[in-house]
Amino acid sequence: MANLSTFNSTLATDPLRSFRFRATFSAAQDAVFDERIKTGTTGGWTGGFTNISGLQTNVQSIQYREGGYNTTVHQMPGMTTFTPVTFTRGVIVGNDQAITWMRGLFSAASGLGLNNPAVTNKGFRLNINIYVNQHPITDDLSTSNDADQMVFRLHNAWITGLSYTDLDATNGAILFETMQVVHEGISVGFTSADGSLVNGYGASPVAIDKF
């Protein structure tokens, strides 16, 4: 019988930390109505957030019964749904990407168009990459302390809600902005410490399979 202590010593014992992350917002072929909500060579949006929640996938279970098997109910997969993802961050002067995104969506939904002749045929959907970074390593200076270790990708996302904390002159609380987005698929990938792909997944958008 193998020595259990020897086996355990080969396992990865340090999970990723949940507090080191960032998000980038991008669109294919620059097809976004406003430069402030896209990532590219002409500028872009890489956001630091206080909290990102809702990274969840659910598959509907369809039950059916079959004659002759009256003691059990069969289960088969149905429709897949994706929970809306919520992004929360402190309000910083000049960071108007969320309200710009919401304003454009409102114009499109109300039949006004995107209010700019130069953005004909450009939409409001983005792909969002959420990177989880490696926790700082203090005893090995040869390893990058900020290497991407995990990435979530939200496909065809668009903003569906935007709110701000209440204004209250009786305390010194920080003003927070909360943005909710819906999407049409989530991918999960992993990378090694140097950013190379692990098991066919990685930070590159083309290397991430969509659910």
Structural domain boundaries of the chain?
A: 17-207
76-111 confidence digits (pLDDT tens): 999 999 999 999 999 999 888 899 888 888 877 777
Of 191 and 160, the one with more pLDDT: 160
Of 27 and 66, the one with more pLDDT: 66
Closest by CA to 32, choosing from 21, 23, 20, 42, is 42
What is the pLDDT confidence band of residue 200, given thresholds at 50, 70 and 90?
Answer: very low
| CB neighbourhood size of 39 (10 A) | 19
Architecture per CATH, 17-207: Roll (2.30)
Asked whether the predicted pLDDT for residue 172 surpasses 80, the reply is yes
What pLDDT is recorded for position 206? 40
Could you tell me the CA-to-CA distances from 3 to 9, 11, 12, 13, 41 in Å, in that order? 10, 14, 17, 18, 54
Of 192 and 144, the one with more pLDDT: 192
What is the pLDDT confidence band of residue 117, given thresholds at 50, 70 and 90?
Answer: low
